[in-house]
Structure 1
Amino acid sequence: MLDTTDPMSQALQSLLDLLDLERIEQDIFRGRSRSAVVPRVFGGQVAAQAMVAAGRTVPEDRPAHSLHAYFLRPGDPGAPIVYEVDRIRDGRSFTTRRVVAVQHGKPIFHLSASFQSHEDGLDHQAPMPPAPDPESLPTSHERMRGYGHIPSDVVERLLQARAAVDLRYVEEPPYGKFGEPRDPHSQVWFRTNGKLDDDPLLHVVLATYVSDMTLLDSVLLAHGRGGWALGDVVGASLDHAMWFHRPFRADEWLLYDQESPSAYGGRGLGQARIYTEDGRLAISVIQEGVVRVPR
């Protein structure tokens, strides 16, 4: 049970409530949104809610192993989102679900997710890259309070949007140090600000939510751009894919090691690996987004 007297735990509980969908038919769910930092629904929220909808139609002994999604239209924060689940296949080992998120009668998001019964098999992984102890790094509050070049109202909105998650950059984020191109590589440690239940789906959902927060940072770093917070880039997620390799907990430290191999044609690509603190490769992530320079 979360400590309801702790503001950070309150923020996490608020996020968990946001992701807890209402079931209105057997395979139809309704979600809500909250005030957004930008005038559209945060993509990580829609992806996480879609995974909740898909997961609630799958047996508990089949955890998620992958998702592939497209962001089709900006979501309206002032309107509910309806998630329609299509039970594509229930096999002996794998279960496949398709989810369409609808607002105002139009699809805004499409997701396919696959779930698998546990199997023993071959086992190898890429080694975890070097990274400092997360406890040695400044918190988001500590970093952002020192950014006098960012309007105070933007700082407050950013901190509010990330209050449920302890997010710690290894180096300065794009909006913290900008104007000079850097290596298109970014590392972030993260965990929820409070303990979660043991349900594996919940940890997948929270990791999905956080995965959309910083993945395109490395694109900005390569060009010395500060991002939307400074108004020098306009961006939005286009598609998102995740593979869940090994069990993990989103309430324990996870290293998000991110890089950008390419940006071209108004789009930027980010790819990443997420490791547990003890070095197990838990998740692989790839995302492409719109990255435009305002004229």
Structure 2
Amino acid sequence: MTTVNDLLKLLVLEKIGDNEFNGVSKTIGSPIVFGGQVLAQAINAASRTITNQRVLHSMHAYFLEAGDLELPITYNVSIVRDGGSFSVRRVTAHQKDTTIFILSASFHKKEAGYNHQIELKPNIKQPEELLSWTDMYEKYGENLPKGIQSFLSIKRPIEFKPTTFVNPLDQKDLPPNYDVWFKLKGDVKGLDLATKQQILTYISDYNILTATLNPHASKAHWGNTITASLDHSMWFFREFDFSDWMLYTMESPSASSARGFARGNIFTRDGKLIATVAQEGLIRPIKNDK
């Protein structure tokens, strides 16, 4: 995948029955299905059953089994409630006879109300000052560990620019946070809000567990740690577009018992808070039995 059009072909599901949809998978460099893909496809399925113009405002999901890249994923949507202001959907994802994922999503009618938000970090580096993942691969690829080389070489419909460049060979502990600018590749005009929310959901599963590993970077890295998304929640606040860079700021308040918890906020470049994300992930050290 190289553009937003390629991404949409992945996220927009095939309808195969009443409230039942099929999806396929694309790797992002991992041997299993990317969690952000399943999240976004499930939201696509849930949104397709909303007929009253209500807008997604929150979702909560659990990853139950690793997805097989070679098998289709079937999404079944249950209509839990259509109330006076809110509509709730439950989505279950299957591969063959195995349930791999469950999600609940709530949609709200448009209403006027109070408005406030936290502020964007001051003095944060702008994307024009930073190297993208593509830039890092082209500039430093030969000097990076093979696993990182392989990951950065994957073509993606999103460009990512971390606000700090960390040398993976330094092996020193870092603060429990991580900030990344991102921007879609290709024509982003004319996307409706539901579609933009599905794309943002896909992006939200990138990078977030990095904040949980940073405080242990002197000994922990992606090559000696088993990582996986366990659950994922997201709240959507405001309308937005993808015409400019957006900032994903992440922090990890805690890690324990081979699990790391992280939360993040997604802002437009001019400081509008679009969404908040929370995720707990498996960060299990690989034991050396020698």
Fold match by TM threshold 0.5: yes
* Runs of 4+ more than 3 Å apart: 156-159, 175-178
Q: 1:132 to 1:35 in 2, by over 3 A?
A: closer
Deviation track 1:227-261 (CA, whole Å, cap 9, x = no partner) reads 32xx1211000000000011122443211010000
Does the CA contact (< 8 Å) of 2:220 and 2:285 recur in 1? no
The offset of 1:92, in angstroms, is 1.7
Does the CA contact (< 8 Å) of 2:46 and 2:89 recur in 1? yes
CA distance in 1, matches of 2:169, 2:103: 35
Matched, 1:19 2:11: yes
Q: 1:143 to 1:46 in 2, by over 3 A?
A: same
Does the CA contact (< 8 Å) of 1:253 and 1:276 recur in 2? yes
Does the CA contact (< 8 Å) of 1:34 and 1:78 recur in 2? no
Does the CA contact (< 8 Å) of 1:204 and 1:250 recur in 2? no
Aligned to 1:3: none
**Structure 2: where are the runs of 5+ without partners?**
none
CA distance in 2, matches of 1:98, 1:137: 40
Deviation track 1:92-112 (CA, whole Å, cap 9, x = no partner) reads 211110000001211100000
CA distance in 1, matches of 2:61, 2:216: 27
Matched, 1:149 2:144: yes
Q: 2:65 aligns with which of 69, 73, 79?
A: 73
The offset of 1:226, in angstroms, is 5.9
| Paired letter, 2:66 | P
TM-score (norm 2): 0.92
Does the CA contact (< 8 Å) of 1:255 and 1:276 recur in 2? yes
Q: 1:101 aligns with which of 72, 93, 103?
A: 93
Q: 1:128 to 1:60 in 2, by over 3 A?
A: farther
The offset of 1:157, in angstroms, is 4.1
Does the CA contact (< 8 Å) of 2:133 and 2:152 recur in 1? no
Aligned to 1:85: 77
Aligned to 2:173: 181
Does the CA contact (< 8 Å) of 1:84 and 1:100 recur in 2? yes
Q: 2:208 aligns with which of 208, 215, 218?
A: 215
Aligned to 2:154: 160
* Count of residue pairs the alignment pairs up: 282
Aligned to 1:265: 257
The sequence identity of aligned pairs, in percent, is 39
| Paired letter, 1:129 | K
Matched, 1:33 2:28: no
Matched, 1:202 2:207: no
CA distance in 2, matches of 1:252, 1:123: 23
Q: 1:288 aligns with which of 268, 272, 280?
A: 280
SS at match of 1:278: coil
The offset of 1:66, in angstroms, is 0.5
The offset of 1:15, in angstroms, is 1.7
SS at match of 1:272: strand
SS at match of 2:201: helix
Does the CA contact (< 8 Å) of 1:262 and 1:268 recur in 2? yes
Matched, 1:247 2:247: no
Q: 1:138 aligns with which of 131, 134, 137?
A: 131
Q: 1:177 to 1:246 in 2, by over 3 A?
A: farther
Does the CA contact (< 8 Å) of 2:29 and 2:150 recur in 1? no
Aligned to 1:61: 53
Does the CA contact (< 8 Å) of 1:207 and 1:250 recur in 2? no
The offset of 1:60, in angstroms, is 6.2
Deviation track 1:146-166 (CA, whole Å, cap 9, x = no partner) reads 141321x752443325x2001
Deviation track 1:103-144 (CA, whole Å, cap 9, x = no partner) reads 121110000001111111111111111222112211111113
CA distance in 2, matches of 1:73, 1:207: 23
CA distance in 2, matches of 1:67, 1:178: 38
Question: Cα RMSD (Å) of the superposition?
Answer: 1.8
CA distance in 2, matches of 1:154, 1:71: 25
